[in-house]
Amino acid sequence: MTSPVYQFHFKSLQGQDMALSDYAGKVLLLVNTASRCGFTPQYAGLEQLHQEFAERGLVVIGFPCNQFGKQEPGDSREIGEFCRTHYGVSFVLAEKIEVNGADAHPLFQYLTQAAPGVLGSEPIKWNFTKFLVDRDGKVRARFAPMTPPSALKTPISELL
């Protein structure tokens, strides 16, 4: 049976349709991001995870979102330029999406139901909430914004 996570599509920053099914068999780290947030330096840690584990099967995908304090005001070109220039980001970045509410991207509607947060709360509370998906497409963990990417090395290694 195919995992529900593989039914979702998103647009890359370059406007290309991307299917999560293309990453079947990989470990996914899906993160809602923002360029003007106190957690923005986590881009460096996410890039480090990408560099360290991509050859073993990790795919990091950032989903810029402007829902929290309007901390991602830029367009796709500005977001991409900022991430490359300031943090050397080479992992996949999506077009800006919403992660909560009626207009939330279907992927994030699924992720928040599959891995609720503290006390069973589904909505994402802030930028840089991280979802870890195993090679079979099962959502294995949800990490709070304050969890640094370096703290995910062990859980990622265990799934690779």
Give the position of tokens 């998103």. Answer: 10
pLDDT given for residue 123 in this prediction: 84
pLDDT given for residue 34 in this prediction: 95
Residue 51: is it exposed, middle or buried by C-beta count within 10 angstroms (0-12/13-18/19+)?
middle
Q: Which fold has domain 4-159?
A: Glutaredoxin (3.40.30)
83 is catalytic: no
pLDDT given for residue 117 in this prediction: 77
- Residue 23: what are its φ and ψ, rounded to 5°? -105, 15
pLDDT given for residue 119 in this prediction: 67
pLDDT given for residue 3 in this prediction: 81
Of the residues 37, 61, 89, 93, which is catalytic?
Answer: 37
The structural domains of the chain, with segments of one domain joined by +, span: 4-159
pLDDT given for residue 115 in this prediction: 83
Residues of the chain with pLDDT under 70: 1, 119-120
